[in-house]
Structure 1
Amino acid sequence: MEGRMELECTMDEQDVVVLDAGSGFLKVGFCGEDAPRAVLPTAMATATADESREDEAVSGDAQKKSQVFYGEEAVLQESAVITRPVQRGELQLSAPEKEAMESLLEHVFRNVLGVEEDLPCLIADTMPLGQSSYATRQWIAEVMFEKIKVKSLAIFNTAALSLFSTGRTRGLVVESGEGITQAVPVFEGYAIPHAIFKMKVAGQDITQRIQTLMGEELGEPQSYRTMQALKEKVCFVAPSSSGVPAPDGDEEARSFELPDGKIIQVSEKIRAGATEILFGGVEGEASMQKICLDAINTVDLDFRQDLVKSVVVAGGTSMLQNLAPRLRLELKSALASDLSRTVEVVSDSQRRFAAWIGGSMFASMSTYDQVAITKQEYEEGKADVRGLVARKTF
């Protein structure tokens, strides 16, 4: 650990907090490090504890006391109201979600990282540039400067950071997390807003599909969390769309232990069938290859060759075994021959946290200070925070 701390000091003159809040998980840590310090569900729960038994001697009335839980503890509160502030890749700006996000950020800075005020911060944001993201980014800037009291703030598109983590500045980033899958062309480090295509099919949809299929197979409902664990352990992407592959002879690869200790063999229909929804397994839904093709066909002809040569997959759902080879196959069969010949899909071993890692790398560079909004700029620009955010976020 000492060696790592020394390395950090030589890489950057200041600690920058790097934060990536996705629909499923919030990743947070410090610049210059190669992985987040903490990864926790992007969730807050408020549970009411019944304290009547303890206080019966004092009063005949039941006393209710509210308790707040964050992250992993929040999703374990079965009887509580769980609030997920980021849904389908977007921070929800209605009251309960805003309050939950504010509380979650305070918890992460003060309790998880143990940092006080006055540190710079880089936030990875899935929303592209443009009018639709200004309100969200304005709110984030206000919370970060007013409540968290950061020294400076930079907001970057997650896809641009994911690409940066692989050492590239041009390419097509295919991000698939818990709530959203998107294809984002990036040119010289900048996401191209008009050529971003999304689909609301991602990790949570695969888990829900598994939940339904396993419920039918076992004859009783299974919890979302258990089915999420099953997905990560035994599910994979079929090599082609020509149907589910023949049963795998490896019993270990198909085995999964349920919470009650019972070990089951998961059928290929579930292991490979549930993930097909990413590639158009649901009638009328978009597919991963279609949003990629739409993005490629929207950019200039000159840039298309650069894109197909560097298709970078990122996000938690991209960890599914065989996803990258399958995407390459789908793109090769759909693209014109001149582009089809050069298709390469890159899947880095650290792709689950690609956006966070890209943010960690960027925040370690001297250029961070040039693109960040300083506390002084924020104070002087309070009359038009939206304009300030529009000018200085990427």
Structure 2
Amino acid sequence: AVIFDNGSGLFKAGIAGDSGPRSVFTAIVGRSKVKPAMLGAGQKECYIGEEAQSKRGVLSLNYPVDHGIVTCWDDMERIWRHVYDYELRIKADERPVLLTEAPLNPLQNREKMAEIMFEDFMVPAMYVAVQATLALYASARITGIVLDSGDGVTHTVPIYEGYCLPHAVSRLDVAGRDITEYFMKLLLESGYSFVSTAEREIVRDIKEKLCYVALDPTQEMKAKPEEIMKEYRLPDNNIIQIGNQLFRAPETLFAPANVGVEAPGVHKMIFNSIMKCDIDERILKEMKLQAPAGVFVRIIAPPERKYCVWIGASILTSLTSFRQMWVTKSDYRDFGAAAIHRKCF
């Protein structure tokens, strides 16, 4: 089977049974700013992934997945077609496909996925699974609460015996992209201006390499500047020095008010989700502060968590018992796009 993990920032694709995805690229589509009729030889109307990133100066860029939800189906279909033709180099009608979705994804989005896959790609069978559930499978568990914070959206998802509990899911529209933007603002206050889309990628790289979550941000703010100062070499070989911005940016996950979002932080979201049910050390500390005495809290953060959802999907589709879960072409013929709701919960 083929597995497509549709993230807001990264698209992961591969074949079931593999230990990791074969193709990982930025989920972005770039269209030429000039009219198609005026394109020169060798120029394409649209570019996908890293190719679009490298030509960002002459393209208008679009992320088809925004805050975990597909907002542009034409571009999403282009990405899927690109993966089949150029990344995996296999025919869509030869293998079933498993697609991932965010918790609380609108039902019509799921139906649209089924429609495109059966009508346009002619897949023999498909399945749609919630990303957080798959991430839990990847850590060899079927019950737990998953904090899924990607590029576009953060969810806390309680899962019992492999089933997501929708009534207890909490959603926060603050994630990696928002932290990058807030980090850009903090750097600007220090005199470092990063404004273009190309410069945004530099800031994202600084964030991924140097930023950290402080165990106690108040204490960290009292530290001497030289104790927390880090250096980063820019592509033009200039070196910049960055101080408390390195932990103030990720602090947004615990204090969304920093970016103007009136919502509880991730530690409170987790607690609220647990209460509605029948980032590691810091989360553990916050959870222990809120948990009653004697309640043991354990946080699992596997090193390969960037691909946890994809790995979980690979495990799930490799199970012999999963064969009966596929939504087949005959199901689609009998029940239409709504067939997807009969087996995918």
Structure 1 segments, 4+ long, off by >3 Å, are 48-51, 62-66, 247-251
- 2:4 is matched with which residue: 19, 32, 44? 19
CA distance in 1, matches of 2:203, 2:343: 41
CA distance in 2, matches of 1:260, 1:163: 42
Question: 1:75-121: per-residue Cα shift (whole Å, max 9, x none)?
Answer: 332232212111001111xxxx1111111111111111101122111
Deviation for aligned residue 1:215: 2.4
| Aligned: 1:200 with 2:185 | no
Deviation for aligned residue 1:241: 4.0
- 2:322 is matched with which residue: 347, 368, 388? 368
Letter in 2 for 1:334: Q
CA distance in 2, matches of 1:115, 1:247: 56
Q: Which has the larger radius of gyration?
A: 1
Tell me which residue corresponds to 2:340: 389
Give matches, 1:229-244, under 5 Å: 229-244=205-220
Tell me which residue corresponds to 1:308: none
The residue matched to 2:52 in structure 1 has which SS? Answer: helix
Tell me which residue corresponds to 2:59: 80
Tell me which residue corresponds to 1:292: 270
Percent of pairs identical after alignment? 29
Give matches, 1:330-349, under 5 Å: 330-338=286-294, 341-349=295-303
CA distance in 1, matches of 2:89, 2:34: 27
Question: 1:207-230: per-residue Cα shift (whole Å, max 9, x none)?
Answer: 001111222323433521110000
The residue matched to 1:127 in structure 2 has which SS? Answer: coil
Asked if the contact 1:165–1:355 (Cα under 8 Å) also holds between the matched residues in 2, the reply is yes
Q: Structure 2, unaligned stretches of length 5 or more?
A: none
Asked if the contact 1:170–1:188 (Cα under 8 Å) also holds between the matched residues in 2, the reply is yes
Letter in 1 for 2:61: I
Q: What CA RMSD, in Å, does the superposition of the two structures yield over aligned residues?
A: 2.1
| Aligned: 1:259 with 2:235 | yes
Asked if the contact 1:244–1:273 (Cα under 8 Å) also holds between the matched residues in 2, the reply is no
- 2:19 is matched with which residue: 31, 34, 48? 34
Q: Structure 1, unaligned stretches of length 5 or more?
A: 1-15, 52-61, 301-322
| Aligned: 1:228 with 2:207 | no
CA distance in 1, matches of 2:157, 2:324: 24
Q: TM-score, normalised by structure 1?
A: 0.80
CA distance in 1, matches of 2:139, 2:224: 35
Letter in 2 for 1:231: K
Deviation for aligned residue 1:295: 0.4
Deviation for aligned residue 1:257: 1.4
Give matches, 1:271-350, under 5 Å: 271-280=246-255, 282=257, 284-300=262-278, 323-338=279-294, 341-350=295-304
Q: How many residue pairs end up in the alignment?
A: 333
Deviation for aligned residue 1:248: 8.4
Tell me which residue corresponds to 2:32: 47
